[in-house]
């Protein structure tokens, strides 16, 4: 089994290399930071409802733990690969470093299709997976969280299985738990809230008044809908939203509360009465000030970058802009706030959850939101200053900040041999 070298990992390395070169990173540290610390592969037998025994392959990767315990979600998907999990674990290392929280990067995954499994089968698989990786996880070692197709209930099973092995309850082993089991207030909205706060800071920087600013958002799920609600509350005019089934446009601004009610019933924004229909393709070319991709990767490409009129792009989704499109927009003067700075609200509040669990003392939602805002403002200004200092775009600057922080502690800790 190869450790690295797949195409997604190579794409991450390209971003890493660009920033590492500017930082003049010494070759030894470069070598350390471009290898995962630990990759675990497990095979989990599960008795299915039919009586048959299936064996599922799972992974847990701890990419870098220089700053603290590994942190990152567990995804359940038929297409999960070790290369993908390793790359996502690397990205978590850089995200935690940009967020300035004391975590390294990790990620987990199981090759399975939970949509074709019963709840009992998913629970049995989760418990067996946790039992297989139990020596590697823990509040001081590696703290998983939800990701694609895993939720608060799955995290409750992770916490329970770990605690049963320990012989006592340990809530801080995992984040994204139900509130009753040591979850944090404000976590559900955290990523959308951070996107809103980032947009506010970026608008200030480019001299754009948010009151009345026209905004288009792709995606109306967790990230897109919360961003839309909170930006509208700041006075921005959300004129367009698109999702998997189509989009809606209203030049006077969409009624977000009514759109949320519509989407709850129809599972899409399409068909909303108080707006005109819109395609996903048309959304990107609209005459707006701010564009927020908050759905999928690779949505802004050379096929549509030329038509983008927004002056500010805030990446709510992971990897929504291809490198070529990013270069094109940056050269045209569009200010792009990269995913590793804009969408790290979830991991920041995960850190708050871990802190609260370890203290056994819980904060109000207001305290959570205030601390999130403080962390965002710090990170945004660190990255902005770095982009000015090195005369680079915000994405490269975010990588420079992240790699610089991980490299600094790696040097300080020295080599254990
Ligand atoms: P979600 O599943 O709640 O919502 C996804 C949205 O994208 C839905 O509105 C869906 O209709 C839309 N969508 C799906 N396919 C589409 C298509 N082909 N065209 C247009 N729209 C489409 O997911 P989410 O949690 O809001 O995450 C959105 C993005 O943000 C993902 O890239 C995710 O990795 C990233 N992200 C999420 C979090 C978080 O805390 N939720 C944190 C960091 C990054």
Q: What is the CATH number of the domain that holds 116?
A: 3.40.50.10860
Which atom from ligand 1 is nearest to the alpha carbon of 224? 26
For residues 161 and 215, state if they share a domain.
no
User: What mean pLDDT comes out for the span 162-189?
Assistant: 97
**Binding site membership of 390 for ligand 1 (Cβ less than 6 Å):** no
For residues 165 and 216, state if they share a domain.
no
**Binding site membership of 150 for ligand 1 (Cβ less than 6 Å):** no
Under DSSP, is residue 109 helix (H, G, I), strand (E, B) or coil?
Answer: strand
User: What mean pLDDT comes out for the span 249-263?
Assistant: 98
**Binding site membership of 4 for ligand 1 (Cβ less than 6 Å):** no
363 in a domain, yes or no?
no
Torsion of CA 76, 217, 391, 194, to 10 degrees: -60
> Which residue owns the Cα nearest ligand 1 atom 19?
244
> Which residue owns the Cα nearest ligand 1 atom 2?
221
For residues 195 and 336, state if they share a domain.
yes
Q: Calculate how far, in angstroms, residue 60's C-alpha sits from the geometric centre of ligand 1.
A: 23
> Residues with catalytic annotation?
107
44 in a domain, yes or no?
yes
**Binding site membership of 163 for ligand 1 (Cβ less than 6 Å):** no
Q: Note the pLDDT of residue 2.
A: 38
Does 354 score more than 90 pLDDT?
A: yes
Does 1 score more than 50 pLDDT?
A: no
What is the C-alpha to C-alpha distance for residues 252 and 243, in angstroms, rounded to an integer? 20
> Which residue owns the Cα nearest ligand 1 atom 28?
295
- Express each pLDDT in 368-381 by its tens digit: 999 999 999 999 99
Residues 270/247, Cβ–Cβ less than 8 Å: yes
Which atom from ligand 1 is nearest to the alpha carbon of 346? 40
16 in a domain, yes or no?
no
The residue from 341, 356, 386 where one domain ends is 341
**Binding site membership of 247 for ligand 1 (Cβ less than 6 Å):** no
Q: Which helix (H) or strand (E) holds 347?
A: helix 345-359
Q: Calculate how far, in angstroms, residue 176's C-alpha sits from the geometric centre of ligand 1.
A: 17
For residues 157 and 199, state if they share a domain.
no
For residues 161 and 50, state if they share a domain.
yes
Q: What percent of the chain has pLDDT over 70?
A: 98
Q: Calculate how far, in angstroms, residue 410's C-alpha sits from the geometric centre of ligand 1.
A: 34
Positive or negative, the CA dihedral 260, 145, 6, 78 is negative
Q: What is the mean pLDDT of the chain?
A: 96
For residues 211 and 331, state if they share a domain.
yes
Residues 147/318, Cβ–Cβ less than 8 Å: no
Domain that holds residue 43: 35-172
What is the C-alpha to C-alpha distance for residues 173 and 162, in angstroms, rounded to an integer? 8
For residues 268 and 227, state if they share a domain.
yes
Q: What is the CATH number of the domain that holds 218?
A: 3.40.50.720
Positive or negative, the CA dihedral 150, 151, 157, 161 is positive
- Express each pLDDT in 27-46 by its tens digit: 999 999 999 999 999 999 99
Under DSSP, is residue 53 helix (H, G, I), strand (E, B) or coil?
Answer: strand
Q: Calculate how far, in angstroms, residue 247's C-alpha sits from the geometric centre of ligand 1.
A: 15
φ and ψ at 166, to 5 degrees? -75, -30
182 in a domain, yes or no?
no
> Both tokens of residue 179?
């509130």
Does 187 score more than 80 pLDDT?
A: yes
Probe residue for ligand 1, chosen from 75, 149, 220, 221 as the CB with the greatest number of ligand atoms within 8 Å: 221
- Express each pLDDT in 214-246 by its tens digit: 999 999 999 999 999 999 999 999 999 999 999
What is the C-alpha to C-alpha distance for residues 209 and 407, in angstroms, rounded to an integer? 38
For residues 166 and 107, state if they share a domain.
yes
The residue from 308, 341, 374 where one domain ends is 341
**Binding site membership of 317 for ligand 1 (Cβ less than 6 Å):** yes
Residues 143/177, Cβ–Cβ less than 8 Å: no
DSSP 8-state secondary structure symbol assigned to residue 300: B
For residues 213 and 137, state if they share a domain.
no
User: What mean pLDDT comes out for the span 328-354?
Assistant: 97
Does 383 score more than 80 pLDDT?
A: yes
The residue from 341, 376, 391 where one domain ends is 341
368 in a domain, yes or no?
no
Q: What is the DSSP annotation of 155-183?
A: HHHHHHHHHHHHTS--GGG-SS--GGGT-
Radius of gyration, alpha carbons of the chain? 21
For residues 304 and 257, state if they share a domain.
yes
Q: Calculate how far, in angstroms, residue 222's C-alpha sits from the geometric centre of ligand 1.
A: 7
What is the C-alpha to C-alpha distance for residues 277 and 178, in angstroms, rounded to an integer? 37
Q: In which band, very low, low, confident or very high, does the pLDDT at 5 lie, cut at 50, 70 and 90?
A: very low
**Binding site membership of 218 for ligand 1 (Cβ less than 6 Å):** yes
Residue among 353, 359, 315 nearest 334 (CA): 315
What is the C-alpha to C-alpha distance for residues 406 and 101, in angstroms, rounded to an integer? 11
Does 3 score more than 80 pLDDT?
A: no
**Binding site membership of 350 for ligand 1 (Cβ less than 6 Å):** no
Q: Which helix (H) or strand (E) holds 409?
A: helix 394-413
- Express each pLDDT in 93-145 by its tens digit: 999 999 999 999 999 999 999 999 999 999 999 999 999 999 999 999 999 99
Probe residue for ligand 1, chosen from 272, 283, 296 as the CB with the greatest number of ligand atoms within 8 Å: 296
Within 234-344, where are the H helices?
256-266, 280-284, 323-331, 339-342
Residue among 171, 156, 167, 162 nearest 137 (CA): 162
Q: Note the pLDDT of residue 7.
A: 67
Does 72 score more than 80 pLDDT?
A: yes
66 in a domain, yes or no?
yes
Q: In which band, very low, low, confident or very high, does the pLDDT at 317 lie, cut at 50, 70 and 90?
A: very high
Does 249 score more than 50 pLDDT?
A: yes
Number of domains in the chain: 2
Q: 379: alpha, beta or left, given left = phi > 0 and alpha = psi -120 to 50?
A: alpha
For residues 166 and 206, state if they share a domain.
no
Q: Note the pLDDT of residue 367.
A: 98
180 in a domain, yes or no?
no
30 in a domain, yes or no?
no
**Binding site membership of 246 for ligand 1 (Cβ less than 6 Å):** no
For residues 63 and 159, state if they share a domain.
yes
């Amino acid at each position: 089994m190869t450790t690295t070298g797949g195409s997604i990992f190579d794409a991450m390395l390209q971003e890493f290399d660009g920033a590492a070169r500017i930082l003049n990173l010494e070759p030894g540290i470069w070598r350390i930071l471009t290898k995962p610390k630990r990759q675990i592969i497990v095979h989990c037998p599960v008795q299915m409802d039919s009586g048959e025994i299936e064996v599922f392959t799972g992974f847990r990767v701890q990419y870098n733990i220089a700053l603290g315990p590994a942190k990152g979600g567990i995804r359940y998907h038929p297409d999960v690969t070790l290369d993908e999990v390793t790359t996502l674990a690397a990205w978590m290392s850089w995200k935690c470093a940009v967020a300035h929280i004391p975590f390294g990067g990790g990620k987990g995954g199981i090759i399975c299709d939970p949509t074709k499994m019963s709840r009992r089968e998913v629970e049995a698989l989760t418990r067996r997976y946790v039992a297989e990786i139990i020596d590697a996880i823990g509040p001081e070692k590696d703290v998983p969280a939800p990701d694609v197709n895993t939720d608060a209930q799955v995290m409750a099973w992770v916490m329970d299985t770990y605690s049963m092995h320990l012989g006592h309850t340990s809530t801080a082993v995992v984040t994204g738990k139900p509130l009753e089991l040591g979850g944090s207030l404000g976590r559900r909205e955290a990523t959308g809230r951070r996107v809103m706060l980032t947009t506010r800071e970026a608008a200030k920087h480019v001299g754009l008044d948010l009151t009345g600013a026209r905004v288009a958002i792709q995606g109306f799920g967790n990230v897109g809908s919360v961003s839309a609600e909170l930006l509208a509350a700041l006075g921005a005019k959300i004129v367009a939203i698109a999702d998997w089934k189509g989009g809606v446009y209203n030049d006077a601004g969409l009624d977000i509360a009514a759109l949320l009610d519509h989407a709850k019933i129809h599972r899409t924004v399409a068909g909303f009465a108080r707006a005109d229909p819109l395609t996903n393709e048309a959304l990107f070319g609209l005459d707006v000030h701010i564009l927020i991709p908050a759905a999928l990767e690779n949505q802004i490409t050379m096929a549509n970058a030329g038509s983008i009129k927004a002056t500010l792009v805030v990446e709510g989704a992971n990897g929504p802009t291809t490198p070529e499109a990013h270069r094109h927009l940056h050269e045209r003067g569009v200010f792009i706030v990269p995913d590793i700075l804009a969408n790290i609200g979830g991991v920041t509040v995960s850190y708050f959850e871990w802190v609260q669990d370890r203290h056994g003392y819980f904060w109000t939602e207001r305290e959570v939101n205030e601390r999130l805002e403080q962390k965002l403002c710090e990170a945004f200004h660190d990255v902005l200053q770095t982009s000015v200092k090195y005369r680079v775009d915000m994405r490269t600057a975010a990588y420079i900040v992240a790699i610089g922080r991980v490299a600094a502690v790696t040097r300080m800790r020295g080599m254990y041999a």
